[in-house]
Each structure stands twice: as structure tokens, then as C-alpha cells.
Amino acid sequence: MNVPAATVARLPRHALPLQLAAFGLLCWAGAVQWSRFVSGPPEGRVLAVVVLATAGALSLGILARAPIGRRTRAAASIAVVLAVAAGTVLAAGLPIRYLAPAHWGALGDGIDRGLAGSSSTGWPYVGSDPWVRLTLLLGIPALAVPAMALGFWPAPRRAAAAAGSLLALVLLLTLFAVPATERTVGAPLVRGAALLGLIGTWLWLPRLRGRRLAAGLAAIAAATVLALPVAGALQHHAAWVDYTTWDLFASRGAGHSFDWTHRYGPLDWPRRGTTMLLVRSPHPHYWKAETLDRFDGLRWVH
């Protein structure tokens, strides 16, 4: 018995290759940019995450076009997403033992430690805390895998597929844009032109056929060429949205912090008995402060 494939199977044959190319390049651009949150980013691991996510997208695309039952397709799609999620976090550097449920508590504690450490550091992170570094790198699969699932999930209706494609694009652009607000992006006009072309490819080209496909390519190329001089002119004016003032990882609210500036002079401490650190532990331990014994040119680190 022939079982109809999902809605996306009615798209042109070139739709899946174009979607995969756009997804892979957008994911790679964002992952490379995100990896620069840490000093000496592991390029091999970053590439492995992108390859696994793209392979998962290909698998979902094939399942969407396969003449199988809906339940079988859904079960296989869930298995693909879970397998890619596990593979990408391992590729990002997570030790395999943390995938076992018995170690999820320790994993949560480690990620919490990494998030706390990343909220008070500069970029790129040059410290030696492995959990801060790992937590930052896990941000890549945390965005890439949901983008893969949303963009290539075998949706039964065209509207659902379009919504998933749009949400996937938002996640992929977030992967690129968040680190761009924290660190200067080189060659912004070239990167912007490439992003514009990839966005157009992702949103429109897979649905076009024949002459319309050629016209779509020409329209995207023309829009990119016309946007370059406009962007170059705007580059010398005050920003409409000054993202350089954003501090996405900083702690909010009232509190106390350590002053890293080197201002030597008479000691004028208030001596109000302010609590600077509170530690809770189910077992008694000997707690002590750690010496910051290495200066990287900007700050003291351990």
C-alpha cells in the first residue's frame, strides 16, 4: 500500500538540496562566530557539530519524502532529533558519562556553574574553568539542533512547515547575532551580504520552479548588490539600534561586585560586614579563596 509522504514532498526536487545548503552555511557561520566566545576555539569540534546537524536535517528531509505511515515517520523523526542532540553535545566536548540519567544532576550543577562564571567574564573567555568553556560551547548545539528540527520536521500542513522554517531561521540568526553584539565582527559588509543571500535562499528559492527560480536568484543577487552601498553609507552614521551597549550576560539587579581596576591608594574599606559569597553544601568542606595568579594583559585570571 502506498502511503502519501508529508506536505514538503510536493516541493520541487531541488528544494531539499537548497535548504540543506542554506542551513549548513547559516549554521556554520553562526557556530564559528559563537565559538569565539572562548579563547582558542576548537574548530574541529565546531565543524563536527555543524556536520551532524546538517546530516540530521538531511535525514529528516528524506523521512518527510518517504512513503511511510505518519506514526512511523514521527517516531523515526524523533529518533533522529534525539540522536543528533546527543551527538552534537558530545562533539561540543561534553563527556559521554553525563548522558546517563544518573549524572544529570552533576551535569545541571556544572552548567549552572558555567553560566555563573560566564556572567562575570570578558570575551573571549581565557580562564581555566572547564565548565565555563564547555557551557559556552554547548550554546551551539542548543540553537542548532532545535533549528534543524523546526526547519526540516515532516509537517503535515504547509502552514506548519512555513512557520517551522521561519522559527529555524530565527534560531540560526540568533546563533550569529548574539556573539556579534559582544565581539566585533570583521568585514561586516561582506558577512551581511552573505547572510542576506542565505536568508533569501532559505525562505524563497526552495519553493520556486523553472524560470521563477532563475528570477529569484537574480532578485536576491540584485538586492544584495544594491544593499552594499546603502549599508556602507549607513556604517558611518550613529546606529539606529546601538547593540554595542548591550550586556547580555551581565547579572542584573542590586548587589556587589569585584572592582578589577588597578587603583592603588589608601585602604578605605567600609567594613560593614557585607556578605560577598554564600556557599551551601550538604556536606562540610574546607572552603578557601583561590589566588588569581596569571595576568592576561587585561585582567587577573586563574
- Residue 222 or 139, more confident: 139
User: What range does the domain containing 13 cover?
Assistant: 7-191
**Which range among 42-51, 110-119, 160-169, 233-242 shows the weakest confidence by mean pLDDT?**
233-242
Q: What is the mean pLDDT of residues 159-183?
A: 89
pLDDT tens-digit readout, 50-96: 999 999 999 999 998 888 898 999 999 999 999 999 999 999 999 99
Cell 562564571 locates to 117
Question: Is 114 within a domain?
Answer: yes
If you search the block for the grid coordinates 535548504, which residue do you land on? Answer: 19
CA distance 217 to 226: 14
C-alpha cell at 49: 557539530
Per the structure block, which three cell numbers stand in for 23?
542551513
Distances (CA, A) of 238 to 187, 188, 193, 226, 242: 18, 16, 21, 21, 8
Kindly state whether residue 65 falls inside one of the protein's structural domains.
Answer: yes
The torsion angles phi and psi of 247, rounded to 5 degrees, stand at: -135, 80
pLDDT (tens digit per residue) in 219-255: 777 777 777 777 666 666 566 676 656 665 554 555 5
Q: Is residue 27 part of a domain?
A: yes
In which region does residue 273 sit, left (phi positive, over 0), alpha (psi from -120 to 50) or beta (all else)?
left
Q: How far apart are CA 151 and CA 84, in angstroms?
A: 14
Cell numbers given for 253: 539587579
Give the C-alpha separation, 144 to 275, whole Å. 40
Residue 241 lies in a domain: no
Identify whether the C-beta of residue 290 lies closer than 8 Å to the C-beta of residue 302: yes
CA–CA distance, 66 with 9 (Å, rounded to integer): 8
Number of structural domains the chain divides into: 1
Say how many residues make up the chain.
Answer: 302
Short-list 202, 220, 217, 210, CA closest to 18:
202
Does a structural domain hold residue 50?
yes
Q: Kindly tell me if the per-residue pLDDT of 9 is higher than 70.
A: no
Burial bucket for residue 76 (CB in 10 Å: 0-12, 13-18, 19+): middle
Whether residue 262 is contained in a domain is answered as no
pLDDT at 110: 92
Q: Write out the DSSP string of 40-103.
A: S--HHHHHHHHHHHHHHHHHHHHHHHS---HHHHHHHHHHHHHHHHHHHHHHTT--GGGGSGGG
How far apart CA 244 and CA 190 sit, in angstroms, is 20
**At a CB cut-off of 8 Å and minimum separation 6, what does 298 contact?**
122
For the record, the C-alpha cell of 264 comes out as 592603588
Q: Among 31-40, 84-93, 199-208, 248-257, whose mean pLDDT is lowest?
A: 248-257
- Other C-beta atoms within 10 Å of 155: how many? 18
* Contact in structure between 172 and 23 (CB atoms under 8 Å): yes
Helix (H, G, I), strand (E, B) or coil at 174: helix
Look at residue 232 and tell me if it is in a domain. Answer: no
In a domain, 11, yes or no: yes
Which pTM does this prediction carry?
0.71
